[in-house]
Structures are given as C-alpha cells and as structure tokens.
Copies of this chain bind each other. A is one copy, B any other.
C-alpha cells in the first residue's frame, strides 16, 4: 500500500496526505492511534466513577468493533511498522501508559473505599486490566466466536469477589 492509495481511499489529494505525514509508516501509526482513541476514548475512561463500570465499558468497546474492517485493517499494519521503528513504537507506548495511568486512578479510588484488596498495587491492576483489554481485542480479531463479555465478567467477578460488604 502506498500513501497515494491511502489518499485515494480517504478521498484526499495525495499532496495533502504527504504534506501532513513524513512517511507511510507515520501515517499508519497515527491512524492506529486514532482508531484506538475512537474505540475507547480517554475522555470516556476519565469519566468513569467506579472500577466496576470499567469492564462492561471495555467489553462493549471491543464488541462494537468486532466486525469492523478498520480495526482489522489498520492495527496489524501499524503494529508491524511500530515493531520496526522505535519512535513510532514510543507513540503507541505513550498512549498505552496514559490509559494505564487513568485506570490506576480508578483502582486507587476503589481501593480507598475498601472494595478491592489493596495488595496488588493500583499500577499492577491497571497493567493487568489494560492487557486484558488488548489481549481480548487481539483474540477476538483472530476468533469471531470468542466470548469477550464472559471473560470481562470473569475479571469483574474476581475484582469484586472480596466486596462482601456490598458497597455500591
């Protein structure tokens, strides 16, 4: 695929596309960042009040894009470019870190209310939750039959298993 083919597909003049992006690689990674942000906007993550809201939100984000050709088309191309270029890899890594930072704040607040065990640190739990999200996304792209909701409900059950006092 060339930048010209991408410009044609987007209905833009080739000059516009090549003016804004230094290379096809950069364009693909920017497109992937855009796809990720549209799939699960950081603003939506920041707006969540409690940890139990996070897992259904994650599950519906994945389900919503399940048959999406955009995701299946753009993400693997971008991952391939990122594997080859450290600068592009760092762009994606930085976005992932931001998701984890916001998720760890949710965990911290939830732990203060005594609703989750304080033993795993907020950072460790946020890293786990982010991995679950992207792991399920990857596996659902490979396997259309995958029960994504079942897996996020399982994590939800594990996270709230200790919530014996029935905190809201």
Contacts and interface: CB of A to CB of B under 8 A. Distances in A.
A150 B135 contact: no
Contact of A76 (B83, B153, B155): B83
Given A138-B134, A139-B134, A124 B79 contact: no
Given A82-B142, A143-B96, A154 B127 contact: yes
A35 interface: no
A124 B82 contact: no
A101 to B, nearest CB: 13
Given A83-B76, A92-B142, A121 B150 contact: yes
A22 to B, nearest CB: 20
A127 B138 CA distance: 12
A131 B135 contact: yes
A108 interface: no
A45 interface: no
A47 to B, nearest CB: 23
Query: Which of A135, A150, A153 is most buried by chain B, counting CB atoms within 10 A of its CB?
Result: A135
A117 B161 contact: yes
A127 B97 CA distance: 24
A120 B83 contact: no
Nearest to A155: B128
A115 interface: no
A48 interface: no
B147 A124 contact: yes
16 contacts: A76-B76, A77-B80, A80-B80, A120-B153, A120-B157, A121-B150, A123-B150, A124-B153, A125-B154, A127-B136, A128-B132, A131-B136, A131-B139, A132-B132, A158-B159, A158-B161
